[in-house]
Amino acid sequence: MRRPFKLPELGDNIEGVEIIAVLVAAGEKVAAGRSLLEVVTDKAVFEIPADEEMIVTEILVRSGDRVGVGESLFIVSPTAADTPPATESAIAVVTTESAPPLPSESAATVPVVEPPTAATGLPKGVLVPAAPSVRREARALGVPIEQVPGTGPQGRISIDDVRQFVKQRNLASPERPGNTQPASPEGPAIPSQVALPDFTRWGKVSREKMGPLRRATAHHLAATWSTLPQVTQFDQADITPLELVRKRLTAHVEKAGGGKLSLTAILLKIVAGALKAFPTFNASLDLRTDELILKQYVHIGVAVDTPEGLIVPVVRDVDHKNITQLAIDLATLTQKARTRKLMPEEMSGGCFTLSNLGTVGGVGFTPIVRHPEVAILGVARSGIEARFAEGAFQPRLMLPLSLSYDHRVVDGADGARFLRWICEVLEEPMRIALEG
Amino acid sequence: MNETKDVVVIGGGPGGYAAAFLAASYGFRTTLVDMRSTPGGVCLHCGCIPSKALLHAAKLLTDAREAMEIGIDFGQPRVEIDKIRLWKERVVSQLTTGLSQQCLRRGVTFIQGQATFLGSNQIAILKPDGQQSELLFDHCILATGSRPTPLPGIPLQSPRVMDSTAALAFEQIPERLLVVGGGVIGLELGSVYATFGSRVTIVEMSPTLLPGADRDLVRVVAKRLEKLTESIRLESKVTALVERADGLLATLENSAGQAEELHFDRVLVAIGRLPNSENLGLEKTRVRLERGLVQVDRAMRTADPAILAIGDVVGGPMLAHKAAHEARIAVEVLAGKKAQFDPRAIPVVAFTDPEVAWAGLTETEAKKQGIPVKAVRFPWGASGRAHTLGQVDGSTKLIVDPETERVLGIGMTGPGAGEMISEGVLALEMGATVRDLAETIHPHPTLSETVMEAAEVFFGHSVHYFTPRQNR
Ligand SMILES: Cc1cc2nc3c(=O)[nH]c(=O)nc-3n(C[C@H](O)[C@H](O)[C@H](O)COP(=O)(O)OP(=O)(O)OC[C@H]3O[C@@H](n4cnc5c(N)ncnc54)[C@H](O)[C@@H]3O)c2cc1C
**Model confidence over B381-439: pLDDT tens digits?**
999 999 999 999 999 999 999 988 999 999 999 999 999 999 999 999 999 999 999 99
Residue of A nearest to B370 (CA): A125
pLDDT, position A316: 94
Check if B147 has its Cβ closer than 6 Å to any atom of ligand 1: no
Q: Band of the pLDDT at A173, cuts 50, 70, 90? A: low
Contact, A178 vs A370, CB < 8 A? no
Task: Write out chain A residues lying below 8 Å of B283, CB-based.
Answer: none
- Asked if A120 and B118 come within 8 Å (Cβ–Cβ), the reply is no
For residue B102, pLDDT over 60 is answered with yes
Cα separation of B350 and B191, whole Å? 11
Largest Cα–Cα separation, chain B: 77
Tell me the CATH architecture of domain B6-148+274-334.
Answer: 3-Layer(bba) Sandwich (3.50)
Cis peptide before A372 (omega within 30 of 0): yes
Cα separation of A283 and A414, whole Å? 14
Q: What is the mean pLDDT of residues A61-85?
A: 73
Higher pLDDT, A401 or A101: A401
Residues A360, A294 share a domain: yes
**End-to-end C-alpha distance for chain B, whole angstroms:** 75
pLDDT, position B428: 95
Q: What is the mean pLDDT of residues A238-265?
A: 88
Q: What is the mean pLDDT of residues B77-98?
A: 96
For residue A204, pLDDT over 90 is answered with no
Nearest CA to ligand 1 atom 12: B319
Check if B391 has its Cβ closer than 6 Å to any atom of ligand 1: no
Q: Which residues fall within 8 angstroms of residue A242, CB to CB, at 6 or more apart?
A: A266, A426, A427, A429
**B91: Cα within 13 Å, side-chain hemisphere:** 20
Neighbouring C-beta atoms of residue B467, cutoff 10 Å? 12
Helix axes A412-427, A240-255, angle to 10 degrees: 70
At A397, the amino acid letter reads: L
For residue A185, pLDDT over 60 is answered with no
Interface with chain B: mutation pick from A3, A154, A158, A162, highest number of B CBs within 10 Å:
A154
**A224 part of a folded domain:** no
**End-to-end C-alpha distance for chain A, whole angstroms:** 54
Q: Which residues fall within 8 angstroms of residue B232, CB to CB, at 6 or more apart?
A: B182, B201, B202, B204, B209, B222, B225, B226
Helix (H) or strand (E) holding B106: helix B81-106
Instruction: Domain ranges for chain B, please list them.
Output: 6-148+274-334, 161-271, 348-459
The best mutation among B21, B144, B274 to test binding of ligand 1, ranked by most ligand atoms within 8 Å of the C-beta, falls on B144
Higher pLDDT, A20 or A242: A242
User: B23 C-alpha to center of ligand 1: Å?
Assistant: 20
Nearest CA to ligand 1 atom 20: B320
Give pLDDT tens digits for A348-394.
889 999 999 988 888 889 999 988 899 999 999 999 999 888 889 99
- Which of A108, A133, A158 is the last residue in one of the domains? A108
Segment among B152-166, B183-197, B308-322 with least mean pLDDT = B152-166
Could you tell me the strand order of the sheet in which B395-400 lies? B348-350, B356-360, B407-413, B395-400, B374-379
Shortest distance, CA A13 to any CA of chain B (angstroms): 21
Cα separation of B221 and B55, whole Å? 15
Residues A156, A72 share a domain: no
Residues A290, A259 share a domain: yes
Average pLDDT value for chain A: 79
Average pLDDT value for chain B: 94
- Across B294-329, b (16+ Cβ under 10 Å) vs e yields bbbbbbbbbbbbbbbbbbbbbbbebbbbbbbbbbbb
Q: Which residues fall within 8 angstroms of residue B369, CB to CB, at 6 or more apart?
A: A124, A125
**A153 part of a folded domain:** yes
- Asked if A115 and B303 come within 8 Å (Cβ–Cβ), the reply is yes
For residue B303, pLDDT over 90 is answered with yes
Query: What DSSP designation does A316 have?
Result: -
For residue A77, pLDDT over 60 is answered with yes
Give start and end residues of each alpha helix (H) in B212-275.
215-228
Q: Band of the pLDDT at B37, cuts 50, 70, 90? A: very high
Would you give the distance in Å from CA A12 to the centre of its chain?
A: 10
Task: Give this complex's ipTM.
Answer: 0.70
The Cα-based distances of B267 to B167, B179, B182, B193, B198 in angstroms read 9, 6, 13, 12, 12
Residues A237, A315 share a domain: yes
Q: What is the mean pLDDT of residues A223-250?
A: 90
Give pLDDT tens digits for B159-192.
999 999 999 999 999 999 999 999 999 999 999 9
- Which of A157, A176, A195 is the last residue in one of the domains? A176
Cα separation of B210 and B214, whole Å? 9
Q: What is the mean pLDDT of residues A310-329?
A: 92
pTM beyond 0.95: no
On whether any CB of chain B is under 8 Å from the CB of A107, the answer is yes
The Cα-based distances of A389 to A75, A192, A241, A392, A395 in angstroms read 72, 54, 15, 6, 10
Burial class for A276, CB neighbours closer than 10 Å (0-12, 13-18, 19+)? middle
**Sign of the dihedral defined by the CA atoms of residues B412, B418, B422, B423, in that order:** negative
Residues A334, A243 share a domain: yes
The angle at the Cα of B433, spanning B432 to B438, to the nearest 5 degrees, equals 105
- Asked if A102 and B119 come within 8 Å (Cβ–Cβ), the reply is yes
Give pLDDT tens digits for B196-212.
999 999 999 999 999 99
Residues A120, A104 share a domain: no
The angle at the Cα of A335, spanning A331 to A339, to the nearest 5 degrees, equals 175
pLDDT, position A80: 54
Cα separation of B212 and A237, whole Å? 76
On whether any CB of chain B is under 8 Å from the CB of A185, the answer is no
Q: Band of the pLDDT at A211, cuts 50, 70, 90? A: confident
Give pLDDT tens digits for B116-141.
999 999 999 999 999 999 999 999 99
pLDDT, position A409: 92
Same fold, B161-271 and B348-459: no
Task: Give φ, ψ of A330 to 5 degrees.
Answer: -65, -45
Give pLDDT tens digits for A91-126.
333 333 333 333 333 333 333 333 333 433 666 667
Burial class for A38, CB neighbours closer than 10 Å (0-12, 13-18, 19+)? middle
Where does A240-329 show beta strands of DSSP type E? 283-286, 291-294, 300-302, 304-306, 309-311, 314-315
Domain that holds residue A365: 229-435
Residues A104, A121 share a domain: no
**A129 part of a folded domain:** yes
Interface of B with A in 226-245 (CB under 8 A): none
Count of domains for chain A: 3
pLDDT, position A180: 35
- Asked if A116 and B284 come within 8 Å (Cβ–Cβ), the reply is no
Task: For residue A103, give the CATH number of its domain.
Answer: 2.40.50.100
Cα separation of A334 and A52, whole Å? 26
Considering chain B, what percentage of its residues have pLDDT values greater than 70?
98
Q: What is the mean pLDDT of residues B77-101?
A: 97
Q: Does domain B161-271 have CATH number 3.40.30.10?
A: no
Higher pLDDT, B282 or A74: B282
Q: Band of the pLDDT at A188, cuts 50, 70, 90? A: very low
The best mutation among B17, B22, B35, B43 to test binding of ligand 1, ranked by most ligand atoms within 8 Å of the C-beta, falls on B43
On whether any CB of chain A is under 8 Å from the CB of B345, the answer is yes
Could you tell me the strand order of the sheet in which B114-119 lies? A91-92, B132-136, B122-126, B114-119
Q: What is the mean pLDDT of residues B223-230?
A: 96
For residue A327, pLDDT over 80 is answered with yes
Q: Does domain B348-459 have CATH number 3.30.390.30?
A: yes
The angle at the Cα of B382, spanning B379 to B385, to the nearest 5 degrees, equals 105
pLDDT, position B148: 96
Helix axes B184-195, B215-228, angle to 10 degrees: 30
Q: Band of the pLDDT at B468, cuts 50, 70, 90? A: low
On whether any CB of chain B is under 8 Å from the CB of A153, the answer is yes
